[in-house]
Each structure stands twice: as structure tokens, then as C-alpha cells.
Amino acid sequence: MRRYTLNILFCAAAVALVWLAQAEMLDGYVLNILMLIGINCIFAVSLNLVNGYMGEFSCGHGGFMCVGAYAGALISVAFFADSALFGEALFAPWLAPWLFPVILLGGMAAAALAGLIVALPSFRTRDDYLAIITIAANYIIISIIENIDAIGGPRGFSGMKRTVNAMADVIELPWMLMWTLAGVFVCVLVIRRLMSSTYGKGVSAVCQNEVAAEMMGVNTNRVKIMAFMASSGLAGLAGVLYAHIYGYVNAQSFGLLKSTEGLVMVYLGGMGSISGVLMAAVAFTLLIEVLRFVIPWLNETLHAVNLLPAGYQLDQIWTWVFIPLMLILLMQFRPEGFLGNRELSDVFPRLRRWITLK
């Protein structure tokens, strides 16, 4: 029973949310934030596999989300939209809810493949060098996509709304919210199961000491590559969801800033802690939204008390002063993040009577 409490809780919350959305008790803005939280959860938890559990430092996670987003978008448009690129839609609109998982899997596979291409040459190095290579990979991915004119180049790519609308035409449901919740569930489940398996023990061993891991017969190269592929594949899942929720993708939105967001969430939550990173992803997304209101308010107040020169407006770019500032304060006062490498059930052992993370 204990094994299923978390799953049941999550499912109950998900059903409640979907019901609220269906009954139109959540407005579009709240719904969007909920889905953004979901995407950020997937993005951060998947990055945590490499940066937390494996102890490597990947800085280009946004790049894999980008590959997933574009691959998913392309498949989606080819399936259900008449476009200049692919010609007529391949499938009838009523198939959309059934074929959406294929779109998700396609995006994940493309992202995992990109992960493999980056991992193969770069995992001969470690630490700082891997960080540099992944930053470079992030730039390369974005440049490549921006320079392919057929998929919109720097103008971005759209048309995925057709698929989302097709799903809504079949049955009127908050489809994207449902897919996002399912994505979060699958992502957390995969990583939890992975980390309690022999493979996951291998990942932990690689994190601690590669020589010793190899001396236990662990194929460290394979472990690293598999973990990196799993991580980038799940980032791709976040990407496909993002592409369909907004109906528009642009390579620029998956730049280094996106990767940094991922890093902030992982370090805020605590490396190697799923529950910590999930909490951080929720808190971080909400914080950015709150800043959206706080910054104009701050602007007005500061102007009212004449602390700012009249010609200068405090605008949203200041989000990216506050967030890094938060990171600096975090590193100063709580470098291990919310939970360190422990799970919620380690911090509050009483929880263990009710839930288990294995």
C-alpha cells in the first residue's frame, strides 16, 4: 500500500485539477502557469539525473528541450496540419488523441539521440570540460535550427495548435493539462525506478568514483551515456509539451538562459533529490510569475518616493537580476539547496510510514 500512496495522491490531485479546468473554474492564466510548472518539473528533474545523481555538470539542457520541441512540433504538423513543408495532413483529425503519444515519443527520441551525439565525444572528459562542451552543444543546436529556413529559421515554427484543437474537437477536455500531468508522472516514475535499480546504483557509483565503479564491473561509459540519453530524452518531453501548449516554438527560447533556469531549479532543490527539485521547480516558476507583478509595483513605488530617476523604468529584465541574486544568496546561506541530496522522507522520517520513494 505504502508503495502506491504517492502515486494515488498525485493521481487524485491531477484528477482534481483536470476537473477544475473542465468545469472552467481555472482561468487561462492559472492553467498556463500550472502547465508551465509541469514543464519545469520535467525539465529540472531530468537535469537532476545528470547534475545531481551522476555528479556531472551539464549546462546545455535547454538545447535538448529545443530538439524535443522542434521534433515534436514537426511530427505534429506533419500528422495533423496541412502545411507548405509536409503537404496535406497524414491523418484524420479524430486520430489526434490517439497519436499524440507518438508525437511525444518522437520528440523524446530525437532529444535522446541529440544527447547521444553530444555524450559520445564529450564523456571522455569531465567536470569543467563537460560543462564547456554542453554549453557549446546548446549554442550549436540553436544555431543549426535557426539556420534551417524550411522550419522557419529565426522566425520560429508554428502550426501545432491544429493538433491541440483536433484533440479538443474529439472530446472537449483540457488535453494539454492532462498530457503535462501525465508527463510529470512518467518522468518522476522513470527516474525513481531508474535510481532504485542496479543501473541507478551504477549512476551513483560513477558519481562517487569512476575507478572504483569500473572495479566493480560497472561499464561506466555505458552508464554515463545511458543516463545522459535518458536525461536529454526527458528534456525533449518537456520540449514537446511546451511546443504544443504555446503553439509556437522559437529556438531562441531554449538558449543558455533556459539551461540556467534548469540549473537554478536543481541547485535550489538540492542535487540528487527528486522531491527537493520538484519543490524548487514549483517555487521557481511561481517566483517568476510573482515577479511579473512585483516589478511594476516596485517601479511605481520607487518612482513615487523619488528613488529612481524619472526617465528610468524598472522593467521585466530585472527578473534576471533577482533570480541570479537569489542563486548567489542560496550559495551563501544554504549551498545544499532545500533538501541537499536527501528526499522529503529522509528529512521527515515520519512520512515514511505513509510514502516510499522506491
Residues interacting with another protein, by CB under 8 A?
198, 201-202, 204-205, 207-209, 211-221, 272, 341
Please report, as a single letter, which amino acid is at residue 321: V
CB of 201 to another protein, least distance (A): 5
For another protein, the closer of residues 66 and 119 by Cβ is 119
Question: 48 vs 259, which CB is nearer to another protein?
Answer: 48
Neighbours of 153 (CB within 10 A): 14
Shortest spacing between CB 212 and another protein, in angstroms:
4
Nearest distance, CB of residue 215 and another protein, angstroms: 5
Helix (H) or strand (E) holding 265: helix 256-269
First-to-last CA distance in the chain?
Answer: 13
Please say which residue, 198 or 332, places its beta carbon nearer to another protein: 198
Distance CA 132, CA 130 (A): 5
CB of 290 to another protein, least distance (A): 35
All cell numbers assigned to 218: 560497472
Cα distances from 332 to residues 139, 310, 336, 337, 356, in angstroms, run 30, 34, 10, 11, 32
| Minimum gap (Å) between residue 207 Cβ and another protein | 7
Least distance (Å) between residue 220 CB and another protein: 7
Helices 274-304 and 175-195 meet at what angle, rounded to 10?
Answer: 130
Closest CA to 107 of 259, 235, 231: 235
CA 199 vs CA 79, 84, 87, 276, 296: distances in Å: 36, 45, 44, 22, 49
79: closest CA among 101, 54, 52, 49?
101
**52 vs 183, beta carbon nearer another protein:** 52
DSSP assignment of 6-31: HHHHHHHHHHHHHHHHHTT-S-HHHH
Cβ distance to another protein smaller for residue 9 or 212: 212
Select 201 or 303, whichever has its Cβ closest to another protein.
201
Closest contact distance (angstroms) between CB of 191 and another protein is 16
In the complex, the smallest distance separating the C-beta of residue 124 from another protein, rounded to whole angstroms, is 8
Joined together, the cell numbers standing for residue 147 give 539556420
User: Least distance from C-beta 222 to another protein, angstroms?
Assistant: 9
Element (H, E) at 225: helix 220-246
Contact 332, 313 (CB under 8 A): no
Q: What values do phi and psi take at 158, rounded to 5? A: -140, 180
The smaller minimum CB distance to another protein, of residues 38 and 276, is found at 276
User: Which C-beta is closer to another protein: that of 212 or that of 302?
Assistant: 212
For residue 187, with 0-12 CB atoms within 10 Å meaning exposed, 13-18 middle and 19 or more buried, which class applies? Answer: buried
Q: Which residue's CB is nearer to another protein, number 156 or number 340?
A: 340
